[in-house]
Amino acid sequence: MVVAGVLTGLVYGLMALGLSVIFGVVRVVNFAHGEMMTIAMYGATMLFAAWNVDPFLAALPLAAAFFVLGYVLQKGFINPFITRPEHSQFMLLVAVAIIMVNGMLMAFGPDARNVMTDYQLESFELGKVYVDKARFYAASAAVATALALFGFFRFTLTGKAIRACADNYLGAKVVGLNVKHLYALTFGLGSVCVAVAGCAMVVLVDVTPGLGPYYTLLAFVIVIVGGLGSMTGALLGGVLIGVSEALAGLLIVPSAKSMFSFGLLILVLLLRPQGLLGRRPQ
């Protein structure tokens, strides 16, 4: 069961990673994050229904589409809001979220949708422990994407440029970096994470239009606990939340397990706001 917690946690971690990247660089609180993942999930179900595309393969075209979506969203709507107070940013993304949720309701109707792959109900037997295949594949996809992203930021020029922007906005501008473009790029990358996370999540959970807010909140909890601006932090945070919810469910009343996550968030915010692996916010 701890294993299941770890695996699911990794998928949550990927979703949170997208948020961390966006928040860490662009400093915008993306309250439509969960809704974006829900759209990705719907995308995966549509591709599956139409051409029987396995969600993990669907992740590739969806990631590309989401990159564009994220880029456009940032450049078009969010950019003017970077310098605006938080409540304005919040309101903008809340409005976007409302449009997304109800657009999905209109397009897909209220019934839950899902994919039914062969491996979804199978599990590996490792001694006394059952590890279910779907969760394993999902977690693997999450780790793979995270590694790819990590590599991008570490080793490519653009990646380094983005990190420069995050560390020192003014300095980056002085050096001549096209900050607006880089910001949009970052949002695009964050959206890619969301897309892959969505495809991974859809083999575990059925999708309904109202799924967004739950995941947005979860992503924030993970990002704060794991540490802002730290990618490993996001994954670690995801795993931590996944495992702690599993344990909390075991030790106390399962219906109160979310309470534990929020309690953890409160403690982290108070005692170590930079999270486990993050750097102190400026």
Partner 1 sequence: MKRRQFNQALAAGLALAPLGFPGIVRAQSQKLKVGVLLPRSGHLSFIGQSCQKGADLAPGVIKDMLGVDIELMNADFESNVDTARTRAERLIQEGAHVLVGPFESGAAAAIAQVAEQRGVPFMINIAAAPQITEQGYKYVFRNFQTAIDIVRNGLVLMGDLFQATNTVPRTAVFMHVNDTFGQAMAKGIGALFPRQNHLPFKIVDTISYDPTAKDLTVEVSKAKASNPDFVMLVSRLNDAVLLRREMVKQRWNPMGIVSPGSPGMYEEQYFKALGKLSEHSISNVPWYNPNARMTKIVEKAFLKQNPKDKLVFHGLNVGFTFEALLVVADAFKRAKSTDPKVLRDAIAQTNITDKMTLGGPIKFNAKGQVEGIGSACVQNLKGEPTVVLPKEAATAKPVFPVPGYKKA
Partner 2 sequence: MSRGAILLAILAAFLVAFPYLGGAYALSVLTLILYLAYAGQAWNILMGFAGQLSLGHSLYVGVGAYVAGGIFFHWGIGPWAGIWAAILLCTLFGLAIGFLAFRFGISGVYFALLTIAFAEFTRIAFDHMAWTNGAGGMFLRVAQRDTIDLLNFRGPPEMYYYAILALAALAFLASYFLQKSKAGYYWQAIRENEEAAQALGINVFRWKMLAMAISSGMTAIAGVFFAFYYNNLFPEQIFNISRSIEIILGPIIGGVGTLFGPILGAAMLTLLSDGITEAFAALGWEIPGIKQVFYGVVLLVVVMFLPNGIWPAIARKLKL
Q: Tell me the CA distances in angstroms from 115 to 53, 206, 254, one per residue in order.
A: 10, 8, 27
Specify the residue, 69 or 246, whose C-beta has the smaller distance to partner 1: 246
Q: Does 213 bind partner 2 (CB under 8 A)?
A: yes
Residue 232, strand partner residues: none
Which of the 8 DSSP states describes residue 132?
E
Q: Which residues contact 191 (CB under 8 A, 6 or more apart)?
A: 18, 36, 66, 67, 69, 70, 71, 73
How long is the chain?
Answer: 282
- d(CA 201, CA 37) in angstroms, rounded, equals 9
Residue 17, CA atoms < 13 Å, CB-side half-sphere:
31
Contacting partner 2 (CB under 8 A), which of 198, 220, 235, 244? Answer: 220
Specify the residue, 148 or 256, whose C-beta has the smaller distance to partner 2: 256
* 232: partner contacted, choices partner 2, partner 1, none (Cβ within 5-8 A by kind): none
| Structure tokens, 64 | 């590309």
* 127: partner contacted, choices partner 2, partner 1, none (Cβ within 5-8 A by kind): none
Specify the residue, 96 or 182, whose C-beta has the smaller distance to partner 1: 96
- d(CA 44, CA 47) in angstroms, rounded, equals 5
* 226: partner contacted, choices partner 2, partner 1, none (Cβ within 5-8 A by kind): none
- Which residue, chain included where needed, has tokens 């939340």? 241
Per-residue contact string for residues 41-80; x = within reach of partner 2 by CB under 8 A? ------------------------------------x--x
Find the binding residues for partner 2 in span 75-134 (CB under 8 A): 77, 80, 84-88, 90-92, 94-99, 101-103, 105-106, 110
CA nearest neighbour of 191 among 28, 54, 19, 25: 19
* 246: partner contacted, choices partner 1, partner 2, none (Cβ within 5-8 A by kind): partner 1
* 35: partner contacted, choices partner 2, partner 1, none (Cβ within 5-8 A by kind): none
Specify the residue, 110 or 127, whose C-beta has the smaller distance to partner 1: 110
Specify the residue, 61 or 103, whose C-beta has the smaller distance to partner 2: 103
- d(CA 68, CA 11) in angstroms, rounded, equals 22
CA nearest neighbour of 202 among 53, 44, 92: 44
Query: How many angstroms separate the first and last alpha carbons of the chain?
Result: 39
Please report, as ranges, the residues that interact with partner 2 according to CB under 8 A: 29, 77, 80, 84-88, 90-92, 94-99, 101-103, 105-106, 110, 209, 213, 217, 220-221, 224, 253, 255-256, 258-259, 262-263, 265-266, 269-271, 273, 281
